[in-house]
Structure 1
Amino acid sequence: MTDIDLKGRLALVSGASRGIGRALALELARAGAHVIATARTQGALEELDDAIKAAGGTTTLVPMDLMSEDGIEQLGQIVTDRWGKLDIMIANAGALGELTPAAQVKAKTWQNVLGVNLVAPARMIRAFEGPLLSSDAGRAVFISSGAASSRRAFWAPYAAAKSGLDALAQSWAAEHVNSPSLRINVVYPGAMRTRMRAKAFPGEDPNSLPEPAALWPLVAELVGPDCARHGEIVRFEG
């Protein structure tokens, strides 16, 4: 287990109800951070809360659809009013959409995939930049995908959205290249044992893939107060 002390730090994780988001939320709590966990599914968030409490951690649950008109902005104001800062932001929530020829992708799919993977993180930047800058060591991590660069056939919406996410995060990082406290990075998790991966590759043996928690040591490095990396796309090599 990665030895990192996050006691007294506040972390926000989107898409925290399952997969990578759930694993990272649990590890952050185990390391001592208070975790604000957001996801659409109330029941799954409550299961996460039980796991965090069993591990001796604390959490605030925020059932929320990232596509709602002003939910992200309202949460940003709540964080500002209640805590006055945010130490760690992990933009993890993702939507695969349908794997189909680009010419057959419906407008609703484009709106959902771009909305969840790109527009929501952009709104998170607007909502949480202030609280992150109020931290003595603000850390933002965006969970992207190798699909952003592989751009394989039939993956147009997801690949386009993740390519845009990379550009968004690195452009924002460039704005803060001289910041004394804010560090912004992108992570490519690679193939992991998640529901999204199973949907994309239904014939693959999930037992051949690492559990999402295997990503934690890499993310721990990026969210720790001593992290000096900034504006990078970091690939998990597990």
Structure 2
Amino acid sequence: MLAPHLYQAPDQLLKHRTILVTGAGDGIGRCAAITFAAHGATVILAGKTIEKLESVYDEIDQAGYPQPAIYPIHLGGAVMEDYQQMHNTLEQEFGQLDGLLHNAGILGDRKSVAQTDSEQWLEVMQINVNASFMMTQALLPLLEKSSDASIVFTSSGVGRKGRAYWGPYAVSKFAVEGLMQTLADELANTSHIRVNSLNPGATNTGMRHTAYPAEDPSVNPLPEKIMPLYLYLMGQDSQGVNGQALDAQPKA
């Protein structure tokens, strides 16, 4: 494949595909949802803040893209029963899924391991790891109904090489990489589902501002600039790409 940041997606790359995006109300998730819709996908907007999801819904609808759907869910409190209900609802409404983007996540406090609060540690793991596992497990039957499905887990540079003071966030992203690799290996050669991880890199988002409050936001690209890899992984051009840890931005 070409360098992912150079990928040029056909206008209707995702036509007739149904894709669920978590954390779709803001930042990269919002941008990915709108971008997928602009390329023909029916997008299911998942998140906890209904007002934000409605704003994305309206933007997609007013642009004339395929009508999206909203699925409110609080990843920090959801249990397996909630994800099974998600499966049942989506099966009834859509029949199958062709894509699942695990975008939602929280940063937590950037402290040393010695100073990290155990309750916050557990919260970060719940939202960044456990929720992704439970949702994926519940929705796999819908993805298996697709002839060409893609699961994308959002990773981070600190989830590939540990870094001081990134504690629970870094460890959660290492866990995400492990979940991706394990699932990809299980599905290899036995399924039409491909599974990969994607590191967005430094991007001009609210989470980045929280992590680096003194940084000039303009030094980092807006989410729109990193969408080529998201489109590549959700479209048919990435068939056969499985178990890969990919970067949305070129290495410096």
Matched, 1:157 2:168: yes
Distance 2:181 2:83 in 1: 21
What is the Cα deviation at residue 4 of structure 1?
4.5
Matched, 1:50 2:58: yes
TM-score (norm 2): 0.91
TM-score (norm 1): 0.96
Partner residue of 2:187 out of 176, 186, 192: 176
CA contact (8 A) 1:193 1:207 kept: yes
Provide the residue aligned with 1:89 in structure 2: 100
Provide the residue aligned with 2:139 in structure 1: 128
Counting matched residue pairs gives 238
Distance 2:128 2:11 in 1: 29
Matched, 1:72 2:83: yes
Provide the residue aligned with 1:61 in structure 2: 70
What is the Cα deviation at residue 180 of structure 1?
4.7
CA contact (8 A) 1:65 1:71 kept: no
Structure 1 gaps of 5+ residues are: none
- CA RMSD of the aligned region, Å? 1.3
Classify 1:4/1:166 alpha carbon distance in 2 versus 1 (closer, same or farther; 3 Å). farther
Question: Aligned to 1:73, what secondary structure does the other structure show?
Answer: helix
Q: Give the letter aligned to residue 148 of structure 2.
A: A
Q: Give the letter aligned to residue 171 of structure 1.
A: T
Question: Aligned to 1:130, what secondary structure does the other structure show?
Answer: helix
Distance 2:135 2:181 in 1: 15
Q: Give the letter aligned to residue 12 of structure 1.
A: L
Structure 2 gaps of 5+ residues are: 1-7
Distance 1:208 1:52 in 2: 28
Q: Give the letter aligned to residue 106 of structure 1.
A: D
Question: Aligned to 1:226, what secondary structure does the other structure show?
Answer: helix
Distance 2:88 2:59 in 1: 27
Distance 2:225 2:138 in 1: 29
Q: Once the two structures are superposed, what CA deviation does each residue of 1:33-70 show, in whole Å capped at 9, x if it has no partner?
A: 11110111111111101111122122111121012233
